[in-house]
Chain A
Amino acid sequence: MTARRSLDLKLILSVLAAFMLSMAFTWFLHSRLSDRDAYKLIDRTFENAEAEITDCVNVRLVQQCMAARERIDDGHPLDTESLQALAKELHVTEISVADSEGNITHSSVQDYLAAPGKPAFNFRTAGGKAEDMMCLVTGPETEYCQPYRSNTANGAWRKFVGVWRPSAGGFIEIGCDGESLRGLARSSIMDLFRNWRVGGTGGIVVTTATGLVLSDYAEPNREGSQWSDPDDSFYWKRKEIEGFPVYVTIPKNAAAVQRDVLVGATAALNGAALVFVALLVGIVISSFVRQQLRVQTAKELEMAKDIQLAALPNVFPPFPDESRFDIWASMETAKEVGGDFYDFYFTGQERVLFLVADVSGKGVPAAMFMMRAKTLLKSIAQTGKPLARVFEEANDALCEGNSSNTFVTVWAGEINKLTGHVTYVNAGHNPPVARRGGRVEYLKSRPSLVLGAMPGVRYSLNEIQLEPGDAIYLYTDGIVEQPNAAGELYGEDRLLKLLDGCTQKRGAVLQTVIDDVRRHAAGVEQADDCTQLVICYRGEPETFSGRYRPVMEDLAKATADLSSALKQVPEACKNRLMVAADEIFANIVRHSGATDWTMTVERTRHPDGIRLVITDDGKPFDPLSSRDPDTTLSAEERDVGGLGILIVKKTMSPVTYRRQNGRNILTIGSDYGNQDKK
């Protein structure tokens, strides 16, 4: 049990460990997944933000460029100082005017203009990205924006925007450095990102080159203050777009919550599945174990039942030489092992004790108590003490250490086979049925206390006189308390009526009762052990005895003696006995080596029959153990050896043999009267 419990514990612990491990793995996996997802989102956001910022800046710069074109077309002076003034006015870094060949004709930047020994800056020939601007001359574009980048002319960071100048055939180009870009686009960018949310709770922060916050989705009033990089509780990335440092930040706790919810749900689901599977497996295993246990228990109970039955005398007739009385008993056990028993044995030369008992309760405890009670009663009774005394001693012994308060009801009688006088004690048992002089009635007596209930109890002795032909029928309550489908018990009245009408003798009456009880039950399962015992008193037999020598002359004499002893016996029965006796006589005279042999003829009553006891002092010979000859051989192969014994065995019942005091004692019998003479 301890081993099994520790096994259970180990099992539970390892299942728990596996469960925790799988949860940790899920948590880790989802953490990594949410990290990856967050950075993916950030990258995507940057792509969108870049497009938006670029759009926003372009629109604003094209406006400025158009404003410059308008002023120039209106006649704004084109000398370098004037253009510088215009650039300042329009908040751009530089303004240049190009002709249709791509030559800068006027510019706020002196370097772009033609000087002695140096041609003017030409977009077509300058190389790098400058040539792209020529699309304004070739069409169909009327405005063109370059990205913010390091410029071709002098390496400074600029964003150039150009617009076509239809009035002159060339184009106007403005350039902005980072600061002027930020100055121009600031407010529209601030509008753009203020309400832009990333992944629910994240957003975009834009700062100036020096880290002053332009737009902060989370804290609008922080705008203008100094930016500091977010801490570990954020996923974030920085990227410069069109000169704006842009930060995309997502608080980790949002992703973490999502992950924790997912892991929690998975855990709950897994847990539920685990519990379900565990329950299922538990149910399957326990039902299997229970099934095994049931099978084993059934097997053990079956063995207990067999042991119990084997403890009861089960050879009938039990005393084949005994012609003065007959005892028959049977026990039909119910499905469950119970505590019924019957018993009978000689308690003296002439006295035979017979009893039926029922132990309270069922199962192995009852069966064990039954064995104890049976053994105790027998061992005390065989000391020859009076029956009441036997009960008193057995009761005291059974009470010792009887913590389970099991008890046994017993009805026991002791018959003197010579006189038919019966003394009996009833320890709380059902009253038996007595047939006396053809009258059938319950043998009611004041019952004494059951055995095993209380020590020191006195048992009262009752008596009854049986005459030849009388009988006593004992039973346990399994007989009278067998219900039918309607719950109606078989009952004592039905039993008495059946026995009154019953003319059968010997053991047949027991089967008749069982059959009737079964008929009454009509398919309802046998409720309890059904135990019965019947003792028939036959009284003094008529007997003849003769002693003979092993010579043919005496064999003829014995045959004549037997023939006259059987005068009253019906012909068929007599013939059978004569044949059987002749076979036995011939064997003794021819083969036994005996010096003397005897024959006793006893006539029995109720039923009418003959018992022939033949003894000899020859060598031991048990005819019952001899092998039967083959009676199927053809005439040529046959001889007559062994046929005599075969005839005896086949025609006589009972046939018993024993060796006692140096003599073979063979008893053969034949009954002819199986009708009760009322």
Chain B
Amino acid sequence: MVTLFDVVAAVKDPELRVLNLAELGILRDVAVDGDAVTVTITPTYSGCPAMDLIRADIESALHEAGVSEISVKTVLDPPWSTDMITEEGRSKLAAAGIAPPGRVFVTLSVRCPRCGSPATEQLSRFGSTACKSLWRCTSCLEPFDAVKAI
């Protein structure tokens, strides 16, 4: 049986399209009280511009599942960390050509998600979205995005 939690969990992140909200680790709770459903999420970055869209996507997914009373709450505590991205989420990022983040406080070289080479260099600490940085592989020469460890 598909629960309402599953419905919300399956909503895709608008910026990292290969991940759903559960894999990204930003879904905290789905509470059902009679006809009313309250979803609790946490932002990746304080100024993440995708939050409004995520909220709207959750509402429409629940709406399609027959729920009419929906509220989406945002909490900050405990703060999101890239450590909250699930193992499956990490594999999906790599498969999509986006280097998954290392574990926070462990410095690892960023491996090229295309050829797997550890010979990579950072082009910019800031990438196409708040959560990514820009890299280049010095083996296969492909540029790629990497999810920043925070």
Task: Check if A and B associate.
Answer: no
Name B residues whose Cβ lies closer than 8 Å to a Cβ of A. Answer: none
Name A residues whose Cβ lies closer than 8 Å to a Cβ of B. Answer: none
